[in-house]
Structure 1
């Protein structure tokens, strides 16, 4: 079975490593020295570092290990491979950065101009995570919790991620200055915008229209692997006069690469249209209160 059939390639693994390397650089050179924060499991690792001086390279990995087990049981091996690879890669780069700083090979960027530091930190985080997401990886943690909440309880993925980030950043008020929490929010905003840009647009979702002779197999795989709802409708080729079922599905920006690889692994000749979606309401996305 080829690497593409397995759902990932050497190119993906390489760029996930590049992305986690950039993200680790931003954390150790910009965010930690200036006592800024992050959300999710990375934010918990930073809190442990500020409170007990524990290295994030270890805590990031240790916190994720039980989450790997949960994800493996709920979503299967195939779905978790790139997540585990991304998380281990991040921990490895964090360790290398910590080792380099401790040996004075590189120097942290400490500056009284917090606006400039915030800008650089947001760009580094956004570029790093954007590359990771662009090539189908994640850095584990909150993503696994959110997907588990959706699968088991039907909770909105976006709201679970937001709640986790809010709790982690809120808890930092006991360890860092209030002013730096406000700067952290700027970092998170800048990073989110850059992630959107790298993920081929400033929108939170993409709509896939897939025309293929294997529409049933494709729709079943999308439903099982990505757990997204689908719509099937009949189409007719103007030239061939041939009737085919088309598949319509909306996915989050983090799933664009996985969706494309999944479709091509089933039907390399599938015709795929990817459209920007300005706003999405419903299960798995934002749910509007009535």
Structure 2
């Protein structure tokens, strides 16, 4: 029993409930269905395209493919076995929801690859198999990541190693995958290792597109003395809302108005035209945004 006063104990319980708010049944079902879809897509990419053509992916999956080839055991067995330790690591380091989503996705992936193993390859063309296999892998992994899980323990390992090594998580993952993809040259052949790098690149780029979406959003920062005209033009001609922020020039000490807004990549050219027309000397900065929620991002009708 705690020695704290009842009022403080109650406050702590309320705070914990706020911090650990449970997902609704609908959200849980949606997450489970999409993680299932993502894991199955990755399984198809592996067993129908890459594995029959001796092309591998990076990470734990790549190691599993090589061990399966050398031992004759099912690919799904090694995917589950090698990723299992990272389930426990993920539980402690990243959280319960992530760990459960990850182990569920890995189980679905293992079952899918086992069931599809007897199915013949869809194509014997090594280039087509590499590209389409990589794309399917990227879509599958991206969907699972987007909905709170993972299908490979490499990233978790990199997060832990990052605390002890003077390298970023991305650099550790890249080094790890370079080692695995190079190793495939000894297990299969060097041309297959090069195709594996191509598949990895296709998967990597597709993951980015899947997570961010095709309709990429961009944040825009504009500093101009003509802020009112530029802001009105963005509202009326683009149908986007704007926010005026107050700033101060570090060199001049002058008060400045900063325009902030969010647009899509298709609207970028039009926005640059608006800024140039109203103030050619305006400061303009545009950056990619992975996700936009809330506020008034929805586009208004343009009349």
Q: Same fold (TM over 0.5)?
A: yes
Q: Provide the residue aligned with 2:81 in structure 1.
A: 62
Q: Provide the residue aligned with 1:31 in structure 2.
A: 50
Q: 1:45 aligns with which of 64, 69, 76?
A: 64
2:34, 2:144 within 8 Å by CA — same for their partners in 1? yes
**Aligned residue pair count:** 215
1:148 is the counterpart of 2:160: yes
- Report the Cα distance in structure 1 between the residues aligned to 2:111 and 2:216, rounded to whole angstroms: 30
- Report the Cα distance in structure 2 between the residues aligned to 1:7 and 1:78, rounded to whole angstroms: 15
Q: 1:188 aligns with which of 188, 193, 200?
A: 200
2:76, 2:110 within 8 Å by CA — same for their partners in 1? yes
Change (3 A) 1:122 1:89: same
Q: Provide the residue aligned with 2:103 in structure 1.
A: 84
Q: CA deviation at 1:73?
A: 2.7
Q: Provide the residue aligned with 2:186 in structure 1.
A: 174
- Report the Cα distance in structure 2 between the residues aligned to 1:252 and 1:47, rounded to whole angstroms: 37
Change (3 A) 1:33 1:206: farther
Q: What are the Cα deviations for residues 128-165 of structure 1, in whole angstroms up to 9, with x where unaligned?
A: 22222222221131021012223455641101111111
1:73 is the counterpart of 2:86: no
Q: Which has the higher contact order (CA 8 A, sep 6+)?
A: 1
Q: Which entry has the higher C-alpha Rg, 1 or 2?
A: 2
Output aligned runs, 1:1-290, within 5 Å. Answer: 3-4=22-23, 9-98=28-117, 101=118, 106-111=119-124, 113-151=125-163, 153=165, 155-201=167-213, 271=295
2:97, 2:148 within 8 Å by CA — same for their partners in 1? no
- Report the Cα distance in structure 1 between the residues aligned to 2:193 and 2:51, rounded to whole angstroms: 13
SS in 1 for 2:93: helix
Change (3 A) 1:133 1:58: same
- Report the Cα distance in structure 2 between the residues aligned to 1:135 and 1:115, rounded to whole angstroms: 30
Q: CA deviation at 1:183?
A: 1.2
Change (3 A) 1:157 1:206: farther
Q: CA deviation at 1:86?
A: 1.5
Change (3 A) 1:204 1:140: farther
- CA RMSD between the two structures: 3.5
1:33, 1:109 within 8 Å by CA — same for their partners in 2? no
- Report the Cα distance in structure 1 between the residues aligned to 2:79 and 2:26, rounded to whole angstroms: 25
Structure 2: tracts of 5 or more residues without a match? 1-16, 220-244, 247-286, 298-303
